[in-house]
Structure 1
Amino acid sequence: MENVVLIVHLLLALTLIGVVLLQRSEGGGLGIGGGGGTASGRPPTQGIHKITWALGAAFIVTSMTLTIIAAQNTEGASVVDRLRDVPRSQATEEPAPLDGELLLPPSPEEADAPLAPLAD
Structure 2
Amino acid sequence: MTTFLLILTMIVSLALIGVILLQRSEGGGLGGMGGGGGAGSFMTGRGTTNLLTHSTAVLAGLFMVLCLGLGIMDKGAAGGGGHDILSTKSLTQAASQPGTGKGATQPAPAPQAPQPAQPAR
Normalising by structure 2, we get a TM-score of 0.46
From the two aligned structures, give the one with the greater helix fraction: 1
